[in-house]
């Protein structure tokens, strides 16, 4: 299965990247990253959107405050289309109000087609 790295960069969130669809139809995106919270005992996460439509979340949980945690990597399935140009935008944003990220957090989105 061919793969294409769409986004590979440090935070803070939000981060985004443009890409051209290499396929017209079903694809999967593998999403990973890290984040933290200022208050312990909170859910955190990074939400993936493609062209403004939410596709899913990499979730996490912080027992303690101010400690960077790896988010649970997820594989999200969706349909892409070439449309008129095949151009799309992928965006990662904080999925909760308690999610904090900075330059010490890293994000990657890989397209499998």
Return the CATH number at 64. Answer: 2.60.120.760
Q: Shortest CA distance to 32 belongs to which of 56, 3, 66? A: 56
Indicate the burial class of 55 (C-beta count within 10 angstroms; 0-12, 13-18, 19 or more). Answer: middle
Cβ density class 37-49: b for 16+ within 10 Å, e for less:
beeeebebbbbbb
Please give the average per-residue pLDDT across 70-74, as a whole number.
Answer: 98
Q: Does pTM top 0.85 for this prediction?
A: yes
Query: What would the pLDDT profile of 87-107 be if each residue is shown by its tens digit?
Result: 999 999 999 999 999 999 999
- Domain tally, the chain: 1
Q: Domain range spanning residue 56?
A: 3-112
């Amino acid at each position: 299965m061919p793969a294409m790295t769409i986004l590979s960069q440090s935070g803070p969130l939000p981060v985004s990247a443009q890409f051209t669809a290499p396929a017209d139809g079903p694809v999967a995106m593998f999403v990973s990253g890290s984040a933290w919270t200022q208050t312990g005992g909170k859910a955190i996460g990074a939400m993936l959107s493609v062209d403004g439509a939410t596709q899913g979340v990499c979730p996490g949980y912080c027992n303690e405050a101010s400690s960077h945690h790896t988010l649970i990597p997820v594989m999200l399935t969706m349909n892409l289309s070439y449309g008129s140009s095949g151009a799309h935008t992928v965006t990662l944003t904080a999925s909760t109000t308690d999610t904090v990220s900075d330059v010490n957090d890293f994000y990657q989105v890989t397209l499998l087609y």
